[in-house]
Structure 1
Amino acid sequence: MIHVHQFPCLSDNYGYLLHDTQSHETVAIDTPDAREYLRQADLKGWRITQIWNTHWHPDHAGGNAAIQEATGCTILGPAEVAGKFPLDRALAHGEVVTIGAVQAQVIDVSGHTNGHIAFHLPAAGLAFVGDSVFALGCGRMFEGEPGQFWESLSRIKALPPETLLYCAHEYTASNARFALHADPGNAALQDYADEIAAKRERDEPTVPAALARELATNPFLRADDPAMQARWGGSTPAETFAALRAAKDSF
């Protein structure tokens, strides 16, 4: 059985420890704050045996060295991590990694960075998506191109709708404000935004997010919807996505 331990770290990151109760393996999903990851693992009585990086940014791989030094764990992630932070095994789209007997599929979700990957655990109904997609948003396009990023989001859209998306930051309230601007007639979005506001008022996390709900409300996942294309222009989903991303960058 897989258990996910979620905790806040840095200013707005979420840390994740993935623990298999049969093998007693523990995976750190990214390493924004090595000290906090080690403290949380100690509180749970777990020992980190692997790190799975989603991309190279320091708030995702910056704790690799310290955690490996403390635990002797193995570090897996995209090739872009190497040369910046420790990496033992480079991963590419279509590969499979395991925690105990549980498999995680590696998915190319590049666009935020050119090597960004996500980890989908189909048996557990979970996906760790880093900064590729957020609740009601997506990552900034620092390195990629609109067509590339849209293809990445399409891979996420194709996952089973019951999948829970574990993204890396608590950006949902600000994402909701832009989403309402981008898609003002969406009643499901307004209900979602109201729930988000109430959760943040109580200082509760809005992550994980259910993919089915994101498909109905996240404007970046709806760039192939005719209504969104009519509102934001673009003859293709990639062009509509590009218009939405540019608008969010200056919102």
Structure 2
Amino acid sequence: MAELVTIRCLSDNYAYLVHGGGQTVLIDAPEAAPILAELKARGWSLDEILLTHHHADHIQAVPEIVAATGARVTGNAEDAARLPRLDRAVRPDESFDLCGEQATVIDVPGHTVGHVAYHLPQAGLVFTADSLMALGCGRLFEGTPAQMWNSLSRLNALPGETVVCSGHDYCAGNGAFALSVDGDNGDLRQRLEDTKAGRRPCSPATLEDERRTNPFLRAPQLAASLGMKGARDAEVFARLRRMKDEFRG
């Protein structure tokens, strides 16, 4: 079974190491020092870096890490012009060998139009970066609300026990917003209490956790309380995303 290591980088980024099948893989490269330190502490050599999207806080450490480890770089062929040089260009719905199993590329536009996620079904992991996030979702810098809703729906179709590894620790802000629109949700309140007490991390969390507590996945259930009964799910999501953008709680 693959081993997962979460690494905090910069002020609020997450990077992840997956170790299994005689291979070590890094998902996103926000900051070199903590990643290289973790590799050294565990005695692991890095084989590959998977990139989810082109934003600097996910790719800026690639040159330094490649220079130190010789790792090859994998990313979305359809966004290659905005990524560091790719040794392996993959496309949505493509599968490839990773850590002794087949990983699948999932198209998740919205935050950016070239954003992808990586699903390792045998390990029960999905790396979603700034698409589906703990208690939230990424801002729509390039894509449309409909694109992001479709992306979240695609991820939501994975098995509930899948562990969602997102790109940032935005738990305080996301949790406060979630309470503002779904305050009667006992699962949400319990999750926030458990995180505050140190009984569980906010991220990673299972997809089932997100289904029960993430307002963006719960758009259909929140429609009536938003005065949108009968509206399409994507329209309810769009309203929630606008509300989050304007939220100052």
For residues 182-222 of structure 1, the C-alpha deviation after alignment (integer angstroms, 9 at most, x for no partner) is 112212212222222223xx8x7421111112111111001
For residue 237 of structure 1, the aligned residue among 199, 214, 233 is 233
C-alpha contact 1:55 1:81 (8 A) present in aligned 2:
no
SS at match of 2:217: helix
Deviation at residue 235 of structure 1 after TM alignment: 1.6
Paired position in structure 2 for 1:146: 145
Paired position in structure 1 for 2:63: 65
Distance 2:35 2:193 in 1: 32
C-alpha contact 2:18 2:99 (8 A) present in aligned 1:
no
Q: What is the letter of the counterpart of residue 95 of structure 2?
A: V
Paired position in structure 2 for 1:120: 119
For the aligned residue pairs, the C-alpha RMSD in angstroms reads 1.6
Distance 1:54 1:243 in 2: 26
Distance 1:34 1:188 in 2: 36
Paired position in structure 2 for 1:94: 93
For residues 151-181 of structure 1, the C-alpha deviation after alignment (integer angstroms, 9 at most, x for no partner) is 0000111000011101111111221110011
SS at match of 1:15: strand
Q: Does 1:8 align with 2:5?
A: no
SS at match of 1:16: strand
Query: In percent, how many aligned pairs have the same letter?
Result: 47
Distance 2:83 2:103 in 1: 24
Distance 2:156 2:223 in 1: 17
C-alpha contact 1:173 1:197 (8 A) present in aligned 2:
no
Scaled by the length of structure 1, what TM-score is found?
0.92
Distance 1:46 1:86 in 2: 23
Q: CA 1:107 to 1:84, structure 2 compared with 1: closer, same or farther past 3 Å?
A: closer
Distance 1:222 1:237 in 2: 9
Q: Does 1:161 align with 2:160?
A: yes
Distance 1:84 1:29 in 2: 14
Distance 2:193 2:240 in 1: 22
Q: CA 1:212 to 1:83, structure 2 compared with 1: closer, same or farther past 3 Å?
A: closer
Paired position in structure 2 for 1:74: 72
Distance 1:8 1:135 in 2: 15
Q: CA 1:16 to 1:88, structure 2 compared with 1: closer, same or farther past 3 Å?
A: same
Matches within 5 A, 1:10-29: 10-20=10-20, 22-23=21-22, 25-29=23-27
Scaled by the length of structure 2, what TM-score is found?
0.93
Deviation at residue 18 of structure 1 after TM alignment: 0.9
Runs of 5+ unmatched residues, structure 1 = none
Deviation at residue 35 of structure 1 after TM alignment: 2.4
